[in-house]
Each structure stands twice: as C-alpha cells, then as structure tokens.
C-alpha cells in the first residue's frame, strides 16, 4: 500500500441509491487505514427519490480544513451508468484520475474518452444476487465500494469490511458484505493512462 496522500472524490448517484452511505463508509474506512482527515458532504439537486445527488468527499494525511465542494476530483464514483448521459463526470477529473462505474457494460462500451483509468463492476446485480433489496429497490451503497477498493490501494479491504460491520448487523451485514465482495471480485480495470491511485491486479 502506498504512503498516505490526499484524495478528493466525487460520488454521483440518484436519491435512494445510497451514495451518501457509500461515501461515509468509505471515508470511515480511510480513517481506519490511517488517514487523519476525512469528510463526506452531500449536495442535493432535488429531495425527491431518483433525482441526481452528488457527494463531495476528501481523505487526507492531515486534518481537513477545506469543506467546500470538490472541483477537481482524483476519483469519480458513478452509482448509475445512466447518469453518464446527464452528468459530465470527466469534465474536471484530474489527468490520470480514476472513474469507478456501476455498469453491466464494459469500459469501452461506456463511450468515455480521456486520460484516466476506468474501473467497472456490475454492482447492481451483485447486490441483487446478495439479496440486498429493500421495498423492491436494489441498493448499491456497499457493492459500489467493491470496484473502488479493487482499483485503488490507499484504503485496506479489511478496513472497508470493518466500516461495513459498524454499519450493519445480522443478516443485513451478511448481505452487505457479500455484495461488496462479489463486486470487488468482478471488477474490470482499463487504463487509458496509468494513475498513481490504481492498484496492480
């Protein structure tokens, strides 16, 4: 695992998908991994379910003193590939950055262009297979962490498991861990350019 640096992450999702939960679990895991500063701040475009939502997260080797929106992310996490038609997730992504996408498509089929790496996993069907369904809605808040952890090396997988264990109990914990691990194992990574944050797999 590489030495601690500072990372800025934007999470793109829809209301009800769990983008806020995912960001908070990941930043908590980063804290367990030794980062002294972590933050996750949601920005709602509408309060209704299904409306676009973004979460601006930071993990830092030192305490965080900046809580504004992330403007130039190192990593963009997309919980719904349909959002690619609505949000330009690559517009301000740093050169050599990373895009993590929940999709059944391949990285090449998503139509993305630029100097970055793309990590893709079908988090939706991983959650569905794990039984992570509430009131008919398939939740991807933990499964989307799978491709994020698989394609980076600054937060330990055991610390992500620890954050999930803090959040859920009983059968819910079993389902969430299974969804995370299925999505982790089924991640594919395509390097358009080699970024520092991408792990060897």
pLDDT level of residue 52 (50, 70, 90 thresholds): confident
Instruction: With respect to residue 132, please indicate whether it lies within any of the assigned structural domains.
Output: yes
Instruction: With respect to residue 201, please indicate whether it lies within any of the assigned structural domains.
Output: no
Q: Interior CA angle at 179 toward 93 and 136, to 5°?
A: 100
Over the stretch 86-100, which tens digit does the pLDDT of each residue have? Answer: 888 888 999 999 999
Instruction: With respect to residue 98, please indicate whether it lies within any of the assigned structural domains.
Output: yes
Instruction: With respect to residue 80, please indicate whether it lies within any of the assigned structural domains.
Output: yes
The half-sphere exposure of 97 on its side-chain side, counting CA atoms within 13 A, is: 22
Domain that holds residue 12: 7-103+113-188
Task: State mean pLDDT over 142-171.
Answer: 97
Task: Dump the DSSP string for 183-194.
Answer: HHHT-EEEESS-
Indicate the number of domains in the chain: 1
Instruction: With respect to residue 200, please indicate whether it lies within any of the assigned structural domains.
Output: no
Across the chain, where does the E strand assignment appear? 7-14, 37-44, 52-60, 75-78, 97-102, 116-121, 133-134, 137-138, 188-191
Instruction: List the CATH number of the domain containing 23.
Output: 3.40.920.10
pLDDT level of residue 5 (50, 70, 90 thresholds): confident
Instruction: With respect to residue 199, please indicate whether it lies within any of the assigned structural domains.
Output: no
Instruction: With respect to residue 29, please indicate whether it lies within any of the assigned structural domains.
Output: yes
């Amino acid at each position: 695992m590489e030495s601690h640096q500072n990372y800025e992450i934007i999470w793109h999702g829809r209301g009800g998908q769990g983008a806020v939960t995912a960001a908070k679990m990941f930043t908590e895991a980063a804290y367990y991994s030794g980062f002294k500063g972590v933050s996750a701040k949601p920005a709602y475009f509408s309060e209704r379910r299904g409306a676009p939502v973004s979460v601006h997260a930071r993990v830092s080797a030192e305490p965080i003193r900046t809580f504004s929106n992330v403007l130039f992310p190192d990593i963009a996490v997309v919980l719904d590939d349909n959002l690619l038609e609505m949000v330009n997730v690559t517009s301000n992504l740093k050169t050599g950055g990373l895009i993590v996408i929940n999709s059944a498509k391949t990285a090449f089929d998503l139509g993305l262009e630029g100097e970055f790496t793309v990590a893709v996993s079908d988090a939706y069907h991983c959650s569905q297979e794990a039984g992570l369904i509430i009131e008919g809605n398939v939740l991807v808040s933990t499964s989307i962490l799978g491709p994020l952890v698989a394609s980076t090396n600054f937060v330990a997988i055991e610390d992500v498991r620890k954050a999930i264990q803090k959040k859920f109990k009983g059968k819910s914990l079993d389902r969430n861990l299974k969804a995370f691990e299925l999505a982790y194992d089924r991640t594919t990574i395509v390097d358009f350019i080699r970024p520092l944050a991408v792990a060897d797999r």
